[in-house]
Structure 1
Amino acid sequence: MTPPIEIDLISDTSTRPSPAMLAAMVKARVGDEQRDEDPTVLELNARVADLLGMESALFLPSGTMCNQIAFLVHCRPGDEIIAAANAHVFGSEGAGASALAGAQFRTLPTANGVFQAAEVEAAIRAPRHRSPRSRVVSVEQTANRGGGSVWPTATLGEVAALARAHGLAAHMDGARLPNAAVASGEPMSAHTRGFDSAWIDLSKGLGCPVGAVLAGSSGFMEEALFWKHRLGGAMRQAGFIAAAGLYALEHNLQRLAEDHDNARLFAGLVDGAGGVAVFPAEVATNILFLDLTHCQLDAGTVASRLREHGIRFGVEGARRMRVVTHLDVSAEQVRRAAQAFTRIVGGG
C-alpha cells in the first residue's frame, strides 16, 4: 500500500489553509458579491489594486479565469497574442484564448520564459488585411516553465512601452508575481507599471484554498465584469474565501523568501547526483526542474519510488521533473526529500 504523501513538492497549489487563516475565514463579514455587497471581497479588491498600482480589481475563482477574461476584453476574434513559447497561457489553459476569445498565439522561443522588447517588435504583424492583428503582449511573472525566473522590472517596462507604442495591450500573468516581488526586493507595482492588466494568484505560495484577483483600469474592469458573469464567475458570499486572501497578504507575503531559500537548498543537495542536472543553474524563486537525461532512471520510475517514501515531485516528461517549494514544506522536509532522491538516482 502506497503511504500517504508527507512531503508534497508537486506544486505550490498543494498548500492548505493554516489554522490562523481558517479562523480569519470563519470570522469574515460577507454579503452578495455579485451585487458588490460583500465587504471582505471589496476590501481584498481594493488592497490588490493598490499593491499592483491599478485603478480597480476583481476577485475571481482562478488565475486561468483572470487570463481568459483579460484576453476576452483585449482581443477580438482573429487577433493575435504574443507570448513566450513556454508560457502557461499558451500550453496549460486548454487553448482558452482560441476557444473563447477567438485569438491565436504568436510565440517567442525562450529557455527561461523572459524575452526582450526587440523580440516583441520583430513579432508584431505589419498591418495587412490578410494577416492576424497583433493585439496583446503577454508576460508571465515569474516564468513557471522557465524555472521560476524573474523578469527584471526594466525589461518589463521596455516591453510594456513597446506594446503601447504599437497600440497593443500589455498583460501580465502574475500567478507568482508575489514571489517575484520578494525575490527582487521591488514592490509588485514596480513590476506591473505600464501594463493594462495584471493579476495575482492567492492559492499558490500565499497559501489560500482558492482564488485570484485581476486588476486594471476602471474601463477595463467594466468590460471584465461582463465576462465574469458570462463565464459563471459570480461567487455570492465569497467573503469567506476573500478573507483568506487578506490574511495571506498580511502574513504570508514576505515569508515567500523561505520558499526560495528552500528551493536553493534542495538544488544544492541534488545537483549532479546520479547524472541529474538542475535547471535553472541559479534558482531564483521556488521552482526548479530536474534534468534526468544522463540518469539511469526515467522520471516516472523516480516518481514512483519517491511515492514509496511519501514524497511527491512533478513529472514533466520522460526525463524531466519539477520541484516546487511552499509554506507547507519545511527546510528539514526538503532535506529529507533531497536525500531520498539522491539515494534513488544513485542506485541506493
Structure 2
Amino acid sequence: MIDLRSDTVTRPTPAMREVMAAAEVGDDVYGEDPTVRRLEERAADLLGTEAALFVPSGTMGNQTAIACHTRPGQEVIVEEGSHIYNVELATMARFSGVQPRVLPGERGVFTARQVAAAIRPDIYYLAPTGLVCLENTHNAAGGRIWPLAAAREVLDLAHGRGIPVHLDGARILNASVATGIPARELTLGFDSVMFCLSKGLGCPVGSLLCGSREFIAAARRTRKALGGGMRQAGILAAAGLYALDHHVDRLAQDHVHARLLADGLASLPALSVWPPDTNIVIFEIARGPDAEALCQRLRDRGVLASPAGAGTSARQVRMVTHLGISAADVQRTVDLVGRELGTARA
C-alpha cells in the first residue's frame, strides 16, 4: 500500500531501532532516565528555550501547555481549523475548564487585529482571555507556514495585553527546513512550544514541550496528572535523538515529493489543488465522487488517503508525504486518481 493518510504512519528505520534497543534507561518519573534528559536538553537547545519535557503525544503537549498557562473560566483564542480546537476532544474544557474563542483564518492564519478584537474587555460577566494559540505548520490548511512577521505581530499584541502565547509546532521543523529559518527563530517569543517526533521525523512515539524552567516544572506535574509519566522511556527518547541527528534535513525530500504530487494532481481537469508549503497536499474534487468515495476507490487500488477532515469541504482530500513515500509512489498515485476520476492529464 502507498500510505498517504499522514506522516504519522512512518515507521522507525532499522538504524533507529538499533539505537532504541541499545538505549541507556532509568525511571523517568524519578528523573533518572539519562536518554530522556539528553533528548530534553537537545530539544531546548534546538528551540532556544531554557528547558523541555518529553511527552507521549502532541495532544498531551498542547493540553499540558493550556493547563499551565490558564485558569478555569478563561478563554483560549484559536483558529477555526486548528488541531487544538477540532481534534483534541475538547480537552481544554474537560481538563482545564476553559473554552475556545474561535477566529477565522486565511488558510489557517489570523491577524493581530483579529486577536485584539477577540480579547475580552475587563467586565465581570465576560470570560477573560487567558491564552492565544497558533499552529505552525497548519495541518488543516495544507501544511501552511505561518508568516514570521504575522506571528510576531500576534506575539507583540498578546504580550502587550499580558496574555501568553502557545505554539502548536507539531511540524515546526518542516517549516524550518522549507524556509531555511532556524527553528529557534520561528519560535522566538512564544511562551511555550510543542513539536512532534512521531510525524515526519519518523519516531514511533513522542513530542517535546519547550519553555522556561518554571513553566516546564509546572508542566511536569500536569503531565503526571494527565497520565503521561513514563518509566524507562529512554528507549523512545533514543529514537528522538536519532531523528534529530538524521531525519531533519531529509524533510526537504518530503516537500519535493509533495510538490510533485500537487503538480501532478493539478494537471487533472477535475481537481483544484492548494499549492503545498511543506509536505501536506489538499485538493478539491470539482466533479465526480466526493472525498470519502474517492478515498475508498483509491484504497481498493492500493493507495491510502483521507478526506481533509474537520472544518473542510466534503469534497476535499488530504495526502501527506513522508519518508515512506517515493517519487514512484507519487507518480502512481497521480495516475490512479486520474483513472478513478475518468480524466486524463491536461
TM-score by length of 2: 0.96
Equivalent AA in structure 2 for residue 228 of structure 1: R
Q: Deviations over 1:229-276 (max 9, x none)?
A: 111111100000100000000000011011111011001001152411
Return the alpha-carbon distance in structure 2 between the equivalents of residues 246 and 211 of structure 1: 11
Return the alpha-carbon distance in structure 2 between the equivalents of residues 347 and 265 of structure 1: 18
Matched pairs, number: 340
Return the alpha-carbon distance in structure 2 between the equivalents of residues 63 and 312 of structure 1: 23
Which of 263, 274, 292 is the aligned partner of 1:268? 263
Q: Tell me what 1:304 maps to.
A: 296
Q: Tell me what 2:273 maps to.
A: 278
CA RMSD of aligned residues (A): 1.1
Q: Unaligned stretches of 5+ in structure 1?
A: 1-5
Q: Is the 8 A contact 1:125 1:133 kept in 2?
A: yes
Task: Specify the SS of the correspondent of 1:273.
Answer: coil
Q: Tell me what 2:329 maps to.
A: 333
| Alignment partner of 1:9 is 2:9 | no
Equivalent AA in structure 1 for residue 247 of structure 2: N
| Alignment partner of 1:196 is 2:191 | yes
Return the alpha-carbon distance in structure 2 between the equivalents of residues 214 and 285 of structure 1: 22
In the TM superposition, residue 70 of structure 1 has moved relative to its aligned partner by 0.4
Q: Is the 8 A contact 2:177 2:249 kept in 1?
A: yes
Task: Specify the SS of the correspondent of 2:235.
Answer: helix
Equivalent AA in structure 2 for residue 266 of structure 1: L
Equivalent AA in structure 1 for residue 290 of structure 2: D
Q: Tell me what 1:343 maps to.
A: 339
Q: Deviations over 1:289-329 (max 9, x none)?
A: 1111x221122221122112211011235311101100111
Equivalent AA in structure 2 for residue 213 of structure 1: L
Q: Is the 8 A contact 2:261 2:281 kept in 1?
A: no
Which of 277, 290, 314 is the aligned partner of 2:283? 290
Task: Specify the SS of the correspondent of 2:75.
Answer: strand
Q: Tell me what 1:99 maps to.
A: 94
Equivalent AA in structure 2 for residue 310 of structure 1: G
Task: Specify the SS of the correspondent of 2:59.
Answer: helix
In the TM superposition, residue 92 of structure 1 has moved relative to its aligned partner by 0.6
Return the alpha-carbon distance in structure 1 between the equivalents of residues 252 and 226 of structure 2: 35
In the TM superposition, residue 347 of structure 1 has moved relative to its aligned partner by 5.5
Return the alpha-carbon distance in structure 2 between the equivalents of residues 272 and 125 of structure 1: 47
Which of 69, 77, 100 is the aligned partner of 1:82? 77
Return the alpha-carbon distance in structure 2 between the equivalents of residues 238 and 12 of structure 1: 22
Q: Is the 8 A contact 1:274 1:295 kept in 2?
A: no
TM-score by length of 1: 0.95
| Alignment partner of 1:164 is 2:156 | no
Return the alpha-carbon distance in structure 2 between the equivalents of residues 297 and 17 of structure 1: 35
**Map 1:121-160 → 2, pairs under 5 A:** 121-160=116-155
In the TM superposition, residue 94 of structure 1 has moved relative to its aligned partner by 0.2
**Map 1:177-192 → 2, pairs under 5 A:** 177-192=172-187
Q: Unaligned stretches of 5+ in structure 2?
A: none
Return the alpha-carbon distance in structure 1 between the equivalents of residues 135 and 207 of structure 2: 15
Q: Percent identity?
A: 46
Moved over 3 A (4+): none
Task: Specify the SS of the correspondent of 1:65.
Answer: helix
Return the alpha-carbon distance in structure 2 between the equivalents of residues 254 and 153 of structure 1: 21
